[in-house]
Amino acid sequence: MTKAAIVILAGNESHADYGRLANALEAAKEFADTDGDELELVFDGAGTQWVPELEDEESDYHELYRTVRDDAVVCDYCSGAFGVDEAVADAGLVTLDEHDGHPSIRSLVDNDYEIITF
């Protein structure tokens, strides 16, 4: 059994950012598809900007996102800082504010999650 936390920090401004997103979602899907693995998909920092795009059915990555959406959480502070807090709320995604308004990476490490950042 593997426990993985995939943290998407890349924004959505460049071709390289789209590559990071695609790789993050593919990695998340691999963990989600493996029996016994535990996954936490964290949208943090500029990565929170992906939520409105991924929720859009016209997005190239919408279907891939849907395969791992149930494991997704969003940084509470960053969703507000990057102006996507309403889109996150509309999507019904869980926001985390465990450490100064942000998800606690330490608690993930303490719970034996491997942290993988994109």
What does the pLDDT look like over 62-88, one tens digit per residue?
Answer: 999 999 999 999 999 999 999 999 999
Residue recorded with tokens 């950042």: 117
Alpha-carbon distance 114 to 37, whole Å? 11
| pLDDT in the model for residue 57 | 97
Q: Where do the DSSP E strands lie in the chain? A: 3-8, 38-43, 72-75, 94-96, 114-117
Average pLDDT over residues 47-65: 98
Residues of the chain with pLDDT > 90, as a percent, come to 99
Please, what are the domains in the chain? 3-117 (3.40.1260.10)
| pLDDT in the model for residue 38 | 98
| pLDDT in the model for residue 8 | 98
- Mean pLDDT, rounded, of the chain: 98
In whole angstroms, how far apart are CA 31 and each of 1, 20, 24, 57, 108?
10, 17, 11, 23, 16
Residues of the chain with pLDDT > 70, as a percent, come to 100
| pLDDT in the model for residue 101 | 95
Average pLDDT over residues 6-12: 98
Question: What are 30-44's pLDDT values in tens digits?
Answer: 999 999 999 999 999
Q: What is the pTM of this model?
A: 0.96
